[in-house]
Every structure is written in C-alpha cells, then in structure tokens.
Structure 1
Amino acid sequence: MSVIAILVLDGLPGHHLTTPGLVFGTAAREHPGVAYEVRLCAGPGPLGIGLPAPLPIAVPHGLEDLADADVVLVPGHDGPRAQPPPGVVDALRGAAARGARIGAVGTGVFTLAATGLLDGRRATTGWRHTEELARLHPRIEVDPAGSVVTDGPFLTSAGIFGGMDVCLRLLAQDHGERTAGETSRELLTPLLRHADRVQEDIDRERAGSAGIEPTLRWLKARLHLPLTPADIAAHAGISVSSLNRRFRARAGVSPPRYLLRLRLDRARELLLDTDEPVERVAALSGFTSAASLRRHFSRQTGTTPRAYRARHRPATSPAG
C-alpha cells in the first residue's frame, strides 16, 4: 500500500485537503489492487483552512510521519512567500533524499521552491504567480502554462483543480493511464462537459482576436518538419515578435515551447499506439534525434520513452 502524506500548512484551501482522498479513494474503490493510505501531517502550531471559510483543524500526524511516505503533497496555503515553518524544509529534503515523489500545488510550489529542490528544474504554479515565482527563484525554469509539470520526482501545478491533476498524474504513474482516466471520468465527467463548452467559447474568442487558429492546425500536421519561429510567422503572415505575442495570448507559451508540447504529445501517442522503435518515434514527432526525445521526455514525465511504453503497454514486445 502506497502512503500519500499531505503536508498541511496553515491557511490551505479546503479542497486541497480533501482532493487526494477523493481521487485515491475513488481509484481504490473502482479498481481492485489499487490501495493507498492518505495521511495528514503537520508541524506544531495552530492550523486552519483558509478557503472557502476559516475553520480550525486538528491533524493526527507530525512531520516525522513523512518519513515513510511514498508521496508528499504540498497544497497551497497562506503566506507562501514567507520562510516555511520550522522543520518543513528538512522534512521535504529528507523525503526527496529517500526517493519519495513530491507534488506541490498552487502557492505550495513556493514552499517546495524554498527547499532548493526545484533549482535547475522545470516547475509551474497558478498563472497569477508564475512571474513572481521566476523572480524569487531564478534558478527554476518556470512554465507559464499552469498545467502539471513533471521533472524527475517533482510534480507541480496550478491551483483550483491542480491538486486533482497532480493526484491523477501520480495515479497514472502507479497504475497506468487507463486507471487514471477512468478515475477522472468517474469524478469529473459532468463538470468537464460544461468546462469543455466554456473552453470552446474562450478559444473562439481568442481565435477571433489573435487569428492564429489556422497556424495551430498547420503546426500539428507538420510536427515532423524542422520548423523555426520564422517559418511559423511566415505561415501566419505576421512578424516573429507579433507571433510571440499572439502565441502567449492564445496558448500561454512561446511558439517553440508550444511546438515542443505538441511533439511530446505526439511521441506519447506513438509509444502507446505503435511498435515503432524510439528512434523512429523521435523522427515522426519532429525531434532531431532519439537522444533529444529522451532528454525532453524525461524532463516532462520523469521517465524514459522505453520505460513509459513498458509501464503503460506491458504486453507490447520490446522496441527501441
């Protein structure tokens, strides 16, 4: 049984406290063989939920109970820019040294960043705080998109539903994409149907102002080509500087970063849906070499293409 330890800090949102139990509990209920213990841990001192309304809480475990956790989750909380409470930095560093995975959500990323464990790695947080995170911790490569970023044993995400995204990503690492997908649908299908319609409206509005939707589709069909920002700007009929502005308004990232994201998505599809060797997957996805694919793939997922395929397609014969 895997132990999921939630590091409870004062002023955390109520849903950050309950979401892990909801996700892992649902997975365990619906899938035989899935088993987790969710453990609430905190240092000394009074604790309370910040949102939706202040509420004092009692936590049954201390920081010492992070010692045997397989995963430590750091939720968002009040005062994230302040020095973490006594013992928290050592507890997180100790967990990382023992090989635990660590996930941080929203403003909780600032607490994880204060340990130095994210230095030299990619991370993200809520879009309102990405610039501040980059300013306070310049050694972190901050991804402004706000989706889940996996770099080695560390997972970071935005707030609101970011905690659920991190938990689902952890579940996928442990028990495969199918289990995580079915758990997500069990929890979110009614909500996501509405969210999809809202997102479509937002996309249409942005496309009307930015006018790059045809270029986004053009890019997706040409991932195997060595495209440059100048090539993309030429297709869009605008300057490179205008292209950068419109991509950031539409996608939240630069054109090269967006292209890399598409190529990694394509590589994952090929690894799961075909028996192509890694070298061929790299070429079809637009990477200059298998080594380049492995480097970027590892930075995003924390594993290699070969290991990803073996984990999620256990019946597939070895390839690549």
Structure 2
Amino acid sequence: MTLCVEILPTLCHGGLVLRTVAVIALPHVAAFELGTACEVFGIDRADTGGPSFDFRVCGPEPGAVVPSKGGFSVVVDHGLEVTRDADLVVVPAYGMPAAPVPEPVLDALRTAHARGAWVLSICSGAFALGEAGLLDGRRCTTHWLHAAALAARFPTASVDPDVLFVEDDRVITGAGTAAGIDACLHLVRRELGAAAATSVARRMVVPPQRDGGQAQYVDTPLPPVADTLAPLLAWMLEHLDADLDVPTLAARALMSERTFARRFRAETGATPAAWLARQRVARAQELLERTDAPVDEVARRSGFSSGALLRHHFARTLGTTPLAYRRRFTCTSDAPTHDAPAGVPG
C-alpha cells in the first residue's frame, strides 16, 4: 500500500501556493525522471483548466552541458540561484554514487527546505537529499534496487522500500522511475487540490493516483505495452458513476474475468474494486472542492451508492469527512454546510 499522508494544508489551494519549480540536473541525470518533472510542472495546462508553473532546470554552472544516462547531454540554462525563490526544488535520479554531490547543490537544498520550500527527489535523487542531511530522522523511499544502499549510507533515515512515495515534513521522496509521477501528482494535489492533479493526470493519460507499492514490480515485470490496460483505465475514469463490475470490465477488455483480474493487479497494484474506490474518492474530492453539491449528490456523481458509503471511504482513505474536507479546501468564506441531514455526521 502507498503511504497514507494526512492532508493538512497551510493555505487554501485557490491561492496557488505552488508557483515556481526548480529542477537540479546532476551529472548523468536520468532522462525519464527529468522528463517526469518537466511533464508535470513544465507544461502550461491553463488551456484545459490545469495549472501552470514558472519552471526552470538548473545546476551549479549555468550553460553547462550535463551528460544523461540516456546517451545524450542536457544544456542547463540556469544556475542554482533560481532555487532561492522556488516553491519546489526537485532532484531527479542521477549517476550516484560515482561522485559526491557538489557542496553548492547541498547548500541549495538545505536552504530551500529551511525557508519552507518543498524538496522532492525521484528515484536515486534521494541520495542527494541524504547528503544534504534532509533524510535524517525522516521516512523516505527510493527505487527498490537502491533501498538497502540508501539505508546503509544514511542510517538515521527510515527507508521504506515498499511504497511509491513518502512525504515527511515538506520532503517528498519518490520510488523508482514512474513512481516519480505519483510523487509529483501527490504534491500538485496536496497544494492545488484534486481538480488540478486530475487535470494534469488526464493530459498525461495516467491515473490521478495509483494504489499499491513497489513490491508488485520487484519480481513480476509489467505486461508488454501492447497489452496495457491504459485505454480501459482512461475509460473507467470517464465513467466512474457507472456500474463497473468485473464482468463488464473484463468483457470490455476482451479478456476472461480471471485473466482481467490478474492483469489489472499487475498494472495497478490493486483489485478493480479497490482501484475504483480510490478513483471515486478522488472524483469526490474534486466535486467537493469545485461545487456546492450536497454530499449525497457528490456520492452519486462519483460512483458511490450513498452519502454514507462516501463518508465511509473518505474516513478510511483520507482520515476525514466530506464536510471537513470541503471546509478545508474551499476558498470561499461561505462554504456550504448542508452536506448531511441533521444528526448525521459530515
């Protein structure tokens, strides 16, 4: 299971807390992980109602040519000074542990976190955070191949090799490769709300939030691309209010129910029912943020049969109620209070 993170925003996401993003490209930067940060934070999605950020790739020497793991080089336009006012500093995977991280980079990471900025690593980028001392006494993760080395190198860190990402005191560490998408979307959701994260995810054609952890990928490879369930998952996200039982989904995927269930867990790390419940909670979050519909109506539109069932899943997944979530994430001073009948908890 992914780490359950308590949602405790300091400001309303409508105030656009997360605006400026700086990505530090270290030698032998991993192309996919760098691209993940660019895809989530570097594209202006205002045309489809999504967020836009002031996005910069930087390094110790502006204009330097940084080799990547992909056999090509990246030209870094900015120096580390752009991290001084960044709301988020990202460290993608790099060629650790061939050389120590330059001290100016470590200083930039420490300074950013000390002044209240978010710091996020993807895959082996966690080692740079460890060298900066940002993992001391904190929970963290990295790719399962590197988890033991991370724990040995930074013994005061609490390394969890099973999760997709961990958030601890404005430090987010993402696991291997594609888990960087989960970590980045989590931060978008954390700061800007479920609607913004869903908008980005929809453009990327990925689920807004995945279930499961890294363990599902250690021994069993993902199915070939030609067999991916991505088109079906996208269709399910568009029809969350429908009755999506396994026979219906298996028939749409042109598989037997048994094969479908096995393939679904391999690709998502969850059963169809668990995956649907989580995506329906995410849809309910979006509706609670953007509409004043009563909880029963939110439940219907997000695929739950009743407000009571929605409250059950909210409590189990987010540790709060729909009413409390709406009050916390709605920016208006007259947030609706008619989510539940008299005598029924929100």
TM-score (norm 1): 0.63
Higher relative contact order (CA 8 A, sep 6+): 2
Q: Which residue of 2 aligns with 1:42?
A: 59
User: Can you give the 5+ residue segments of structure 2 that lack an aligned partner in the other structure?
Assistant: 1-15, 207-224, 234-252, 254-258, 289-294, 297-306, 340-344
After superposition, what is the alpha-carbon deviation per residue over 1:87-124, rounded to whole angstroms, capped at 9, x for unaligned?
A: 11111000001110011000000110111112121111
Instruction: Determine whether 1:22 maps to 2:59.
Output: no
User: Can you give the 5+ residue segments of structure 1 that lack an aligned partner in the other structure?
Assistant: 206-212, 221-261, 288-292, 295-304
Listed as ranges, the matches of 1:1-320 within 5 Å are 2-24=19-41, 25=43, 27-31=45-49, 34-44=51-61, 46-53=64-71, 55-80=72-97, 82-189=99-206, 193=230, 200-201=261-262, 272=285, 285=316, 310-311=328-329, 315=335, 317=337
Q: What CA distance in whole angstroms lies between the structure 1 residues aligned with 2:326 and 2:130?
A: 27
Identity of aligned residues (%): 30
Report the residue type matching 1:78 in the other structure: G
Q: What CA distance in whole angstroms lies between the structure 2 residues aligned with 1:115 and 1:127?
A: 21
Quickly say closer, same or farther: Cα 1:172–1:284, change in 2 above 3 A: closer
Q: What CA distance in whole angstroms lies between the structure 2 residues aligned with 1:123 and 1:199?
A: 33
Q: What CA distance in whole angstroms lies between the structure 1 residues aligned with 2:314 and 2:181?
A: 34
Structure 1 residue 147: deviation in Å? 0.6
Quickly say closer, same or farther: Cα 1:107–1:309, change in 2 above 3 A: farther
Report the residue type matching 1:69 in the other structure: A
Q: What CA distance in whole angstroms lies between the structure 2 residues aligned with 1:286 and 1:173?
A: 15
After superposition, what is the alpha-carbon deviation per residue over 1:131-170, rounded to whole angstroms, capped at 9, x for unaligned?
A: 2211211211111124121112111111321232222122
Q: What CA distance in whole angstroms lies between the structure 2 residues aligned with 1:11 and 1:195?
A: 36
Asked if 1 retains the 8 angstrom alpha-carbon contact of 2:22 and 2:55, the reply is: yes
User: Number of paired residues?
Assistant: 250
Q: What CA distance in whole angstroms lies between the structure 1 residues aligned with 2:184 and 2:191?
A: 11
Q: What CA distance in whole angstroms lies between the structure 2 residues aligned with 1:142 and 1:148?
A: 11
Q: What CA distance in whole angstroms lies between the structure 1 residues aligned with 2:110 and 2:92?
A: 17
Asked if 1 retains the 8 angstrom alpha-carbon contact of 2:65 and 2:73, the reply is: yes
Structure 1 residue 195: deviation in Å? 9.7
Report the residue type matching 2:230 in the other structure: R
Q: What CA distance in whole angstroms lies between the structure 2 residues aligned with 1:282 and 1:172?
A: 18
Structure 1 residue 81: deviation in Å? 6.8
Asked if 1 retains the 8 angstrom alpha-carbon contact of 2:25 and 2:66, the reply is: no
Structure 1 residue 316: deviation in Å? 5.1
TM-score (norm 2): 0.58
